[in-house]
Chain A
Amino acid sequence: MYSFAYHKPTSVKDAAGAFAKGSEARYLAGGHTLLPSMRLRLSHPSDLVDLAGVAELKGIKVDGGTVTIGAMTPHGEVASNAAVAKAIPALAKLAGGIGDPQVRNRGTIGGSLANSDPAADYPAAVLGLGATIKTNKREIKADDYFKGLFETALEDGELITSVSFPVPEKAGYAKFANPASRYAIVGVFVAKTKGGVRVAVTGAGPCAFRQAAMEKALSGGFTADAVANVKHAASGLNSDLHASAEYRAHLVTVMAKRAVAAAS
């Protein structure tokens, strides 16, 4: 990888300050996407701002019907947190299915969302539960956050500080995982919330998106049968060596059925 200047601030304010001073700075969270892409020389930041020393970005809080997860909380901690497992079991299960144990020890929710890999798991939960992404500048609703392939509403230098998930009545997640990387070829998150049913799909398109026809079908009855005949169009879906767009379209329905069946 190319050389860079390394910074390790201890506050969000100092992190943003260090970022602003670099010509092509990047924040370093768990580093499990950024470091491999730097090693391939696909990414060559002038400065790396390591967030590991910023205590205010870590931790999990469950209260008053909201689960709030600090941006630098690793997946493994979300997966093994008893309060999360009780409040939103589907969220704990999703976190426990990301990558492998070593990835889960390093990778973070903030890093995953800032990167917005089309096959990442967390975007499905964030969009499916209608979470709020808090940054050092503002709050962004999940519906306004995902913009395209590796593209989010975050501005240059804007730093995710935490994510707040409203506790749903029930929710479920199912993914068809790539057997090597465990990335979602297609993952579907379903949630029955006070505001209605939400269905979010990851892995299938350029970024996570909601599936309106399935939301409508599940509003009439939250059962796997209700979505069994709701087809998703293949146009616009990802097509690569792992799966064609048509196959992914088929998987959207299959994963939606499994997610509803698994919901609790």
Chain B
Amino acid sequence: MAISVSMTVNGKAVSAPVEERTLLVHYLRDHLGLTGTHVGCDTSQCGACVVHVDGKSVKSCTVLAVQAQGAPVTTIEGLAKDGKLHPMQEAFRENHGLQCGFCTPGMVMSALDLVKNNPSPSESEIRHHLEGNICRCTGYHNIVKSIAAGAKAMGGR
């Protein structure tokens, strides 16, 4: 049975008729065409599908679309403004924080959740925060560097 699920995605009110069992990640990708949010492991381990719901990072492969009914949702597509990359995205570009790029949207969204609560994270705090994000190119070193630089660019020390 289809139900109407509405939410505010990247500042825009959206609505789509979906099944109750539709996952948030499929709602974003298949119904809204926002394919920047990736499905990696599909078992809530890898973090490629991280988006923000109500300002908090979640794994969208383990949340039903209907659970985000009425909530503000931010995806990787919502970060760049007026054709200019968000400072965290720019930091990943500058610091070679990606190789194949598959995990990158999740890494960036997870990093922004960290910086929101901790504007100047230490290296160990960054590494600890990335427990739920897996990079199979194993490019962690530059990802950590990117997040430190991104946090700094966003106003941290």
Contacts and interface: CB of A to CB of B under 8 A. Distances in A.
B20 A182 contact: no
Q: Is the interface of A mostly helix, strand, loop or mixed?
A: mixed
B66 A6 contact: yes
B63 interface: yes
A182 B113 CA distance: 20
Contact of B132 (A4, A38, A103): A103
Interface stretch (A94-102, A133-141, A199-207): A94-102
Contacts of B19: 3
Contacts of A100: 47, 131-133
Interface residue range, chain B: 20 to 34
Interface string A98-137: 0111110110000000000000000000000000000000
Contacts of A99: 131-132
Contacts of B66: 6, 8, 50
B58 A102 contact: yes
Interface string A146-185: 0000000000000000000000000000000000111000
Interface in A56-90: 76, 80
Given A2-B21, A105-B56, A52 B62 contact: no
Contacts, number: 72
B99 interface: no
B144 to A, nearest CB: 15
Interface residues of A, number: 29
A213 interface: no
A220 to B, nearest CB: 37
Contact of A105 (B47, B58, B64): B58
Nearest to A182: B131
Nearest to B19: A3
Contacts of B132: 99-103
Nearest to B69: A8
Contacts of A48: 20
A101 B131 contact: yes
Most A CB within 10 A of own CB, among B42, B64, B66, B131: B131
Given A99-B132, A100-B132, A106 B62 contact: yes
Interface in A1-32: 1-6, 8, 28, 31-32
A98 to B, nearest CB: 11
B58 A180 contact: no
B38 interface: no
Contact of B64 (A31, A32, A80, A101): A31
A28 B63 CA distance: 11
A55 interface: no
A4 B113 contact: no
A6 B20 contact: yes
B8 interface: no
A116 B133 CA distance: 26
A68 B45 CA distance: 30
A99 to B, nearest CB: 7
Contacts of A106: 58-59, 62-63
7 contacts: A3-B21, A6-B20, A31-B63, A39-B42, A50-B66, A102-B110, A103-B44
